[in-house]
Structure 1
Amino acid sequence: MFNTSDYVLLQRYILEIINDFSYSEAKINADVNGDDRISSLDASLFTRKILGIIDAFPVENIIGPSKPTNLQLIKTTNSSATISWTESISDVDIEGYKIYNNNELVGTTTDTSYTVEGLEIFSENIFTVEAFDKNGRHSGKSAPLRVVIDFVLEEDIVIDKDYELGDNTIYLNGFTLTVNGTLKQNSGEINLGEGNLIINGDFIQSGGIVNVESGKLYVKNDYLI
Protein backbone atom coordinates (compact mmCIF):
# COMPACT_ATOMS: atom_id res chain seq x y z
CA MET A 1 0.00 0.00 0.00
CA PHE A 2 1.18 3.55 -0.80
CA ASN A 3 0.74 5.51 2.44
CA THR A 4 1.82 8.71 4.19
CA SER A 5 5.29 7.35 4.91
CA ASP A 6 5.74 6.59 1.23
CA TYR A 7 4.86 10.17 0.28
CA VAL A 8 7.44 11.49 2.76
CA LEU A 9 10.11 9.24 1.25
CA LEU A 10 9.10 10.28 -2.27
CA GLN A 11 9.25 13.96 -1.30
CA ARG A 12 12.73 13.57 0.15
CA TYR A 13 13.87 11.71 -2.93
CA ILE A 14 12.54 14.36 -5.35
CA LEU A 15 14.00 17.19 -3.25
CA GLU A 16 17.42 15.56 -3.48
CA ILE A 17 17.08 15.49 -7.27
CA ILE A 18 15.99 19.14 -7.37
CA ASN A 19 18.88 20.20 -5.14
CA ASP A 20 21.27 18.48 -7.53
CA PHE A 21 19.69 20.14 -10.60
CA SER A 22 22.22 22.29 -12.49
CA TYR A 23 22.36 26.09 -11.88
CA SER A 24 24.07 28.84 -13.82
CA GLU A 25 25.86 31.66 -12.02
CA ALA A 26 22.91 34.01 -12.57
CA LYS A 27 19.73 32.00 -12.91
CA ILE A 28 18.09 28.62 -12.69
CA ASN A 29 18.95 26.69 -15.80
CA ALA A 30 15.43 26.42 -17.25
CA ASP A 31 17.03 26.55 -20.68
CA VAL A 32 17.51 22.80 -20.78
CA ASN A 33 18.74 22.59 -24.38
CA GLY A 34 21.13 25.52 -23.97
CA ASP A 35 19.93 27.79 -26.78
CA ASP A 36 19.36 30.82 -24.51
CA ARG A 37 15.59 30.55 -24.95
CA ILE A 38 12.82 28.91 -22.91
CA SER A 39 10.78 26.89 -25.39
CA SER A 40 8.57 23.82 -25.81
CA LEU A 41 11.72 21.83 -26.47
CA ASP A 42 12.95 22.69 -22.98
CA ALA A 43 9.61 21.52 -21.58
CA SER A 44 9.88 18.25 -23.50
CA LEU A 45 13.41 17.62 -22.26
CA PHE A 46 12.42 18.50 -18.71
CA THR A 47 9.46 16.10 -18.91
CA ARG A 48 11.81 13.33 -19.98
CA LYS A 49 14.05 14.13 -17.04
CA ILE A 50 11.12 13.94 -14.59
CA LEU A 51 9.94 10.66 -16.13
CA GLY A 52 13.46 9.34 -15.67
CA ILE A 53 13.32 10.33 -12.00
CA ILE A 54 10.02 8.50 -11.57
CA ASP A 55 11.32 5.39 -13.36
CA ALA A 56 14.41 5.42 -11.16
CA PHE A 57 12.41 5.64 -7.93
CA PRO A 58 13.08 2.45 -5.91
CA VAL A 59 10.00 0.21 -6.33
CA GLU A 60 10.63 -1.64 -3.08
CA ASN A 61 9.74 1.57 -1.23
CA ILE A 62 6.25 1.53 -2.74
CA ILE A 63 5.03 -2.04 -3.17
CA GLY A 64 4.32 -4.16 -0.08
CA PRO A 65 4.00 -7.95 0.15
CA SER A 66 1.02 -9.84 -1.24
CA LYS A 67 -1.59 -11.38 1.05
CA PRO A 68 -0.92 -14.93 2.29
CA THR A 69 -3.24 -17.38 0.52
CA ASN A 70 -4.56 -20.93 0.92
CA LEU A 71 -4.86 -20.72 4.71
CA GLN A 72 -5.75 -24.21 5.96
CA LEU A 73 -5.93 -26.36 9.08
CA ILE A 74 -3.25 -29.03 9.51
CA LYS A 75 -4.29 -30.53 12.86
CA THR A 76 -5.86 -29.76 16.23
CA THR A 77 -5.51 -30.98 19.80
CA ASN A 78 -7.64 -30.17 22.83
CA SER A 79 -5.70 -26.93 23.26
CA SER A 80 -4.00 -26.06 19.97
CA ALA A 81 -4.43 -25.68 16.22
CA THR A 82 -1.73 -25.90 13.55
CA ILE A 83 -2.35 -23.88 10.39
CA SER A 84 -0.40 -23.34 7.18
CA TRP A 85 -0.53 -21.00 4.16
CA THR A 86 1.15 -20.20 0.86
CA GLU A 87 4.05 -17.76 1.13
CA SER A 88 3.65 -14.12 0.18
CA ILE A 89 5.51 -12.36 -2.63
CA SER A 90 7.34 -9.03 -2.37
CA ASP A 91 10.00 -7.11 -4.28
CA VAL A 92 12.11 -7.33 -1.14
CA ASP A 93 12.61 -10.18 1.30
CA ILE A 94 9.63 -11.31 3.37
CA GLU A 95 10.60 -10.78 7.00
CA GLY A 96 7.82 -12.89 8.54
CA TYR A 97 4.14 -13.39 9.23
CA LYS A 98 1.77 -12.24 11.95
CA ILE A 99 -0.95 -14.65 13.09
CA TYR A 100 -4.27 -13.36 14.41
CA ASN A 101 -7.05 -15.19 16.27
CA ASN A 102 -10.36 -13.35 16.35
CA ASN A 103 -8.46 -10.19 15.24
CA GLU A 104 -6.01 -10.46 18.16
CA LEU A 105 -2.30 -10.92 17.45
CA VAL A 106 -1.24 -14.30 18.88
CA GLY A 107 2.20 -14.82 17.35
CA THR A 108 4.75 -14.25 14.59
CA THR A 109 6.85 -16.66 12.56
CA THR A 110 9.25 -16.78 9.62
CA ASP A 111 7.75 -20.10 8.46
CA THR A 112 4.56 -20.74 6.47
CA SER A 113 2.94 -22.70 9.29
CA TYR A 114 2.22 -21.98 12.94
CA THR A 115 0.76 -23.73 15.99
CA VAL A 116 -1.55 -21.59 18.11
CA GLU A 117 -1.51 -22.79 21.73
CA GLY A 118 -3.77 -22.17 24.71
CA LEU A 119 -7.10 -22.75 22.98
CA GLU A 120 -10.16 -23.98 24.85
CA ILE A 121 -12.22 -27.07 24.05
CA PHE A 122 -15.23 -26.25 21.83
CA SER A 123 -13.93 -22.69 21.29
CA GLU A 124 -14.54 -21.04 17.91
CA ASN A 125 -11.42 -19.46 16.43
CA ILE A 126 -11.16 -17.25 13.34
CA PHE A 127 -7.55 -17.21 12.12
CA THR A 128 -5.99 -14.74 9.67
CA VAL A 129 -2.36 -14.21 8.62
CA GLU A 130 -0.54 -11.03 7.56
CA ALA A 131 2.88 -10.81 5.88
CA PHE A 132 5.49 -8.11 6.46
CA ASP A 133 8.75 -7.41 4.62
CA LYS A 134 12.17 -6.12 5.68
CA ASN A 135 11.05 -2.54 5.01
CA GLY A 136 8.27 -2.89 7.58
CA ARG A 137 5.46 -2.93 5.04
CA HIS A 138 2.47 -5.20 5.67
CA SER A 139 0.15 -7.05 3.37
CA GLY A 140 -3.57 -7.20 3.92
CA LYS A 141 -4.85 -10.05 6.04
CA SER A 142 -5.54 -13.41 4.45
CA ALA A 143 -9.02 -14.85 4.00
CA PRO A 144 -10.25 -16.06 7.42
CA LEU A 145 -10.12 -19.69 8.54
CA ARG A 146 -12.72 -20.91 11.07
CA VAL A 147 -11.56 -23.64 13.45
CA VAL A 148 -13.60 -25.19 16.27
CA ILE A 149 -11.56 -27.12 18.83
CA ASP A 150 -13.02 -30.61 19.17
CA PHE A 151 -12.97 -32.64 22.38
CA VAL A 152 -10.50 -35.51 21.89
CA LEU A 153 -10.16 -37.71 24.96
CA GLU A 154 -6.59 -38.32 26.06
CA GLU A 155 -7.63 -40.23 29.19
CA ASP A 156 -10.77 -41.59 30.87
CA ILE A 157 -13.04 -38.72 31.92
CA VAL A 158 -15.99 -38.55 34.35
CA ILE A 159 -18.59 -35.75 34.21
CA ASP A 160 -20.56 -35.60 37.48
CA LYS A 161 -23.53 -33.60 36.18
CA ASP A 162 -25.96 -33.32 33.29
CA TYR A 163 -24.19 -32.49 30.05
CA GLU A 164 -25.48 -30.90 26.83
CA LEU A 165 -23.67 -31.22 23.51
CA GLY A 166 -24.25 -28.51 20.92
CA ASP A 167 -22.62 -28.08 17.52
CA ASN A 168 -19.38 -29.75 18.57
CA THR A 169 -17.56 -33.05 18.16
CA ILE A 170 -16.34 -35.52 20.78
CA TYR A 171 -13.80 -38.24 19.95
CA LEU A 172 -13.48 -40.92 22.63
CA ASN A 173 -10.22 -42.02 21.03
CA GLY A 174 -10.23 -45.43 22.75
CA PHE A 175 -10.97 -44.02 26.22
CA THR A 176 -14.10 -44.02 28.41
CA LEU A 177 -16.38 -41.02 28.92
CA THR A 178 -18.76 -41.39 31.87
CA VAL A 179 -21.66 -38.98 32.37
CA ASN A 180 -23.23 -39.24 35.83
CA GLY A 181 -26.45 -37.54 34.79
CA THR A 182 -28.46 -36.87 31.64
CA LEU A 183 -26.70 -36.39 28.31
CA LYS A 184 -28.52 -34.15 25.83
CA GLN A 185 -27.34 -34.06 22.24
CA ASN A 186 -28.95 -31.33 20.15
CA SER A 187 -26.47 -31.44 17.26
CA GLY A 188 -22.80 -32.17 16.78
CA GLU A 189 -21.16 -35.57 16.69
CA ILE A 190 -19.99 -38.26 19.12
CA ASN A 191 -17.41 -40.72 17.77
CA LEU A 192 -16.90 -43.70 20.04
CA GLY A 193 -14.22 -45.38 17.95
CA GLU A 194 -12.94 -48.10 20.25
CA GLY A 195 -13.99 -46.20 23.36
CA ASN A 196 -16.88 -46.49 25.80
CA LEU A 197 -19.65 -43.97 26.47
CA ILE A 198 -21.36 -44.64 29.82
CA ILE A 199 -24.45 -42.57 30.66
CA ASN A 200 -25.75 -43.06 34.20
CA GLY A 201 -29.03 -41.33 33.40
CA ASP A 202 -31.05 -40.56 30.26
CA PHE A 203 -29.64 -40.03 26.78
CA ILE A 204 -31.82 -37.51 24.96
CA GLN A 205 -30.77 -37.19 21.32
CA SER A 206 -32.81 -34.57 19.44
CA GLY A 207 -30.20 -34.15 16.71
CA GLY A 208 -26.62 -34.83 15.74
CA ILE A 209 -24.80 -38.08 15.03
CA VAL A 210 -23.54 -40.93 17.22
CA ASN A 211 -20.92 -43.14 15.55
CA VAL A 212 -20.62 -46.26 17.68
CA GLU A 213 -18.21 -48.04 15.30
CA SER A 214 -16.34 -50.64 17.39
CA GLY A 215 -17.01 -48.84 20.69
CA LYS A 216 -19.69 -49.47 23.31
CA LEU A 217 -22.63 -47.30 24.40
CA TYR A 218 -24.22 -47.86 27.84
CA VAL A 219 -27.38 -45.97 28.85
CA LYS A 220 -28.66 -46.67 32.39
CA ASN A 221 -32.13 -45.15 31.97
CA ASP A 222 -33.94 -44.08 28.77
CA TYR A 223 -32.53 -43.46 25.33
CA LEU A 224 -34.87 -40.92 23.76
CA ILE A 225 -34.61 -39.96 20.10
Structure 2
Amino acid sequence: MRRLLLIMLALVVSSMFFAEFVEVYAYDGDPNNAKAFVSMGDSGYCNRHVWEIPMTLEVQVAQWVHWNLTGTKWTWFVRKPGTYVANCITATLQSNSDLEITFSGFDHLKYATGTSVNDTIEVEYAFGPQLPIPENIWTPAPELNYVSLLVPDSQILHNGVTYKLWNRIHVERCNSASTYRDSGIIILTLKNQKPWIDDEGDYVEDLEEYVNSQR
Protein backbone atom coordinates (compact mmCIF):
# COMPACT_ATOMS: atom_id res chain seq x y z
CA MET A 1 0.00 0.00 0.00
CA ARG A 2 2.79 2.37 0.92
CA ARG A 3 4.58 1.59 -2.34
CA LEU A 4 1.41 2.37 -4.31
CA LEU A 5 1.06 5.73 -2.56
CA LEU A 6 4.66 6.61 -3.35
CA ILE A 7 4.13 5.73 -7.01
CA MET A 8 0.98 7.88 -7.18
CA LEU A 9 2.79 10.77 -5.49
CA ALA A 10 5.63 10.51 -7.98
CA LEU A 11 3.15 10.61 -10.87
CA VAL A 12 1.39 13.67 -9.45
CA VAL A 13 4.66 15.54 -8.88
CA SER A 14 5.92 14.70 -12.37
CA SER A 15 2.71 16.05 -13.91
CA MET A 16 2.88 19.39 -12.10
CA PHE A 17 3.81 22.40 -14.20
CA PHE A 18 6.64 24.54 -12.84
CA ALA A 19 7.69 28.00 -14.02
CA GLU A 20 10.94 29.40 -12.66
CA PHE A 21 11.57 33.16 -12.65
CA VAL A 22 14.92 34.11 -14.22
CA GLU A 23 16.83 37.37 -14.12
CA VAL A 24 16.39 39.82 -17.01
CA TYR A 25 19.11 42.10 -18.38
CA ALA A 26 18.17 45.13 -20.49
CA TYR A 27 20.44 46.09 -23.39
CA ASP A 28 17.97 48.84 -24.27
CA GLY A 29 15.11 49.91 -22.02
CA ASP A 30 14.16 49.42 -18.38
CA PRO A 31 14.68 45.86 -17.07
CA ASN A 32 11.57 46.31 -14.89
CA ASN A 33 9.49 46.30 -18.08
CA ALA A 34 10.25 42.67 -18.88
CA LYS A 35 10.03 39.46 -16.88
CA ALA A 36 10.99 35.96 -17.96
CA PHE A 37 10.30 32.42 -16.79
CA VAL A 38 11.78 29.03 -17.67
CA SER A 39 9.47 26.02 -17.72
CA MET A 40 8.94 22.54 -19.17
CA GLY A 41 12.26 21.05 -18.15
CA ASP A 42 13.12 17.73 -19.79
CA SER A 43 15.74 15.01 -19.58
CA GLY A 44 16.69 11.67 -21.07
CA TYR A 45 18.85 8.72 -20.13
CA CYS A 46 19.19 5.79 -22.50
CA ASN A 47 21.13 4.53 -25.54
CA ARG A 48 18.99 6.16 -28.23
CA HIS A 49 21.11 7.16 -31.25
CA VAL A 50 19.24 10.42 -32.10
CA TRP A 51 17.38 12.74 -29.76
CA GLU A 52 14.91 15.39 -30.92
CA ILE A 53 14.32 17.88 -28.12
CA PRO A 54 11.62 20.53 -28.72
CA MET A 55 12.44 24.09 -27.65
CA THR A 56 10.01 27.02 -27.61
CA LEU A 57 10.59 30.75 -27.17
CA GLU A 58 7.39 32.72 -26.49
CA VAL A 59 7.11 36.47 -26.00
CA GLN A 60 3.80 37.94 -24.82
CA VAL A 61 3.69 41.70 -25.37
CA ALA A 62 1.30 43.92 -23.41
CA GLN A 63 -0.42 46.91 -24.91
CA TRP A 64 1.10 50.26 -24.00
CA VAL A 65 0.18 53.86 -24.70
CA HIS A 66 2.06 57.14 -24.67
CA TRP A 67 -0.28 60.12 -24.71
CA ASN A 68 0.23 63.86 -24.40
CA LEU A 69 -2.16 66.82 -24.18
CA THR A 70 -0.88 70.36 -24.61
CA GLY A 71 -3.57 71.47 -22.14
CA THR A 72 -6.54 70.24 -20.12
CA LYS A 73 -8.26 73.60 -19.63
CA TRP A 74 -9.38 76.50 -21.77
CA THR A 75 -9.91 79.86 -20.05
CA TRP A 76 -11.82 82.49 -22.00
CA PHE A 77 -11.97 86.23 -21.25
CA VAL A 78 -14.90 87.57 -23.30
CA ARG A 79 -15.58 91.32 -23.47
CA LYS A 80 -18.74 91.26 -25.61
CA PRO A 81 -21.29 88.78 -27.02
CA GLY A 82 -20.39 86.71 -30.05
CA THR A 83 -19.51 83.26 -31.35
CA TYR A 84 -15.87 82.40 -30.84
CA VAL A 85 -13.59 79.46 -31.66
CA ALA A 86 -10.51 78.86 -29.52
CA ASN A 87 -7.15 77.78 -30.83
CA CYS A 88 -6.94 74.07 -30.30
CA ILE A 89 -5.56 71.69 -27.73
CA THR A 90 -3.32 69.13 -29.41
CA ALA A 91 -3.43 65.47 -28.41
CA THR A 92 -0.69 63.02 -29.38
CA LEU A 93 -1.30 59.28 -29.14
CA GLN A 94 1.17 56.45 -29.58
CA SER A 95 0.30 52.79 -28.96
CA ASN A 96 0.84 49.26 -30.24
CA SER A 97 -2.85 48.32 -30.59
CA ASP A 98 -6.40 49.67 -30.82
CA LEU A 99 -7.38 52.63 -28.63
CA GLU A 100 -10.90 53.77 -27.80
CA ILE A 101 -11.69 57.38 -26.87
CA THR A 102 -14.95 58.16 -25.06
CA PHE A 103 -16.26 61.16 -23.15
CA SER A 104 -18.17 61.64 -19.90
CA GLY A 105 -19.70 64.59 -18.07
CA PHE A 106 -19.46 67.17 -20.86
CA ASP A 107 -22.21 69.81 -20.96
CA HIS A 108 -22.85 73.42 -21.86
CA LEU A 109 -21.23 75.99 -19.57
CA LYS A 110 -23.26 76.90 -16.49
CA TYR A 111 -23.33 80.11 -14.47
CA ALA A 112 -20.95 79.44 -11.59
CA THR A 113 -22.22 81.89 -8.94
CA GLY A 114 -25.73 83.07 -8.14
CA THR A 115 -28.36 83.48 -10.85
CA SER A 116 -28.32 84.82 -14.39
CA VAL A 117 -30.85 85.97 -16.96
CA ASN A 118 -29.46 83.12 -19.09
CA ASP A 119 -27.33 80.77 -17.00
CA THR A 120 -25.98 78.76 -19.96
CA ILE A 121 -23.33 79.37 -22.60
CA GLU A 122 -23.67 76.83 -25.36
CA VAL A 123 -20.43 75.14 -26.42
CA GLU A 124 -19.49 72.70 -29.17
CA TYR A 125 -16.41 70.59 -29.75
CA ALA A 126 -14.74 69.36 -32.92
CA PHE A 127 -11.73 67.38 -34.05
CA GLY A 128 -9.95 68.78 -37.08
CA PRO A 129 -6.52 69.72 -38.42
CA GLN A 130 -7.27 73.40 -38.97
CA LEU A 131 -9.96 76.03 -39.46
CA PRO A 132 -12.46 76.30 -41.01
CA ILE A 133 -14.15 73.20 -39.64
CA PRO A 134 -17.26 71.96 -41.51
CA GLU A 135 -20.46 72.72 -39.65
CA ASN A 136 -21.51 69.07 -39.47
CA ILE A 137 -18.31 68.22 -37.57
CA TRP A 138 -19.17 70.39 -34.56
CA THR A 139 -20.71 68.37 -31.72
CA PRO A 140 -22.77 70.03 -28.94
CA ALA A 141 -21.16 69.35 -25.58
CA PRO A 142 -23.93 67.06 -24.17
CA GLU A 143 -23.84 64.90 -27.32
CA LEU A 144 -20.09 64.41 -26.96
CA ASN A 145 -20.85 61.96 -24.14
CA TYR A 146 -22.32 59.56 -26.72
CA VAL A 147 -19.34 59.72 -29.07
CA SER A 148 -16.94 56.76 -29.27
CA LEU A 149 -13.80 57.08 -31.36
CA LEU A 150 -11.75 54.02 -32.30
CA VAL A 151 -8.11 54.56 -33.22
CA PRO A 152 -7.16 51.29 -34.98
CA ASP A 153 -3.80 49.61 -34.74
CA SER A 154 -1.56 50.87 -37.53
CA GLN A 155 1.99 51.89 -38.29
CA ILE A 156 0.87 55.51 -37.98
CA LEU A 157 -0.38 54.86 -34.44
CA HIS A 158 2.86 53.07 -33.55
CA ASN A 159 4.82 56.12 -34.71
CA GLY A 160 2.43 58.60 -33.08
CA VAL A 161 -0.75 60.25 -34.34
CA THR A 162 -1.87 63.82 -33.62
CA TYR A 163 -5.39 65.14 -33.11
CA LYS A 164 -6.56 68.71 -32.55
CA LEU A 165 -9.54 69.44 -30.29
CA TRP A 166 -11.35 72.75 -30.80
CA ASN A 167 -14.19 74.41 -28.90
CA ARG A 168 -16.73 76.99 -30.03
CA ILE A 169 -18.72 79.11 -27.60
CA HIS A 170 -21.88 81.16 -28.14
CA VAL A 171 -21.99 84.15 -25.78
CA GLU A 172 -25.41 85.86 -25.87
CA ARG A 173 -26.54 89.31 -24.79
CA CYS A 174 -28.56 87.73 -22.00
CA ASN A 175 -25.55 86.00 -20.43
CA SER A 176 -24.97 87.98 -17.23
CA ALA A 177 -21.47 89.04 -16.26
CA SER A 178 -19.82 86.26 -14.26
CA THR A 179 -17.97 82.98 -14.73
CA TYR A 180 -19.44 80.03 -16.64
CA ARG A 181 -17.81 76.63 -16.33
CA ASP A 182 -18.09 72.93 -17.15
CA SER A 183 -15.73 70.00 -16.65
CA GLY A 184 -15.76 66.62 -18.37
CA ILE A 185 -13.58 63.55 -18.63
CA ILE A 186 -11.85 62.04 -21.65
CA ILE A 187 -11.56 58.25 -21.25
CA LEU A 188 -8.76 56.47 -23.08
CA THR A 189 -9.12 52.67 -23.17
CA LEU A 190 -6.51 50.15 -24.31
CA LYS A 191 -8.59 47.60 -26.20
CA ASN A 192 -6.17 44.67 -26.32
CA GLN A 193 -4.53 44.64 -22.92
CA LYS A 194 -3.11 41.37 -21.64
CA PRO A 195 -4.80 39.74 -18.61
CA TRP A 196 -1.49 39.64 -16.74
CA ILE A 197 -1.47 43.45 -16.49
CA ASP A 198 -3.50 44.86 -13.59
CA ASP A 199 -5.71 47.97 -13.63
CA GLU A 200 -2.77 50.22 -12.70
CA GLY A 201 -0.54 48.90 -15.47
CA ASP A 202 1.65 46.70 -13.25
CA TYR A 203 2.27 42.98 -13.41
CA VAL A 204 -0.24 40.82 -11.56
CA GLU A 205 1.14 39.08 -8.48
CA ASP A 206 0.65 35.56 -9.86
CA LEU A 207 2.38 36.24 -13.17
CA GLU A 208 3.79 32.70 -13.32
CA GLU A 209 0.23 31.38 -13.64
CA TYR A 210 0.16 32.79 -17.18
CA VAL A 211 3.04 30.60 -18.32
CA ASN A 212 1.51 27.83 -20.46
CA SER A 213 2.63 24.57 -22.05
CA GLN A 214 1.82 25.48 -25.66
CA ARG A 215 4.51 24.85 -28.26
> Fold-level match, TM-score > 0.5?
no
Normalized per residue, the structure richer in strand is: 1
Higher relative contact order (CA 8 A, sep 6+): 2
Q: Look at both structures and tell me which one has the larger radius of gyration over its CA atoms.
A: 1
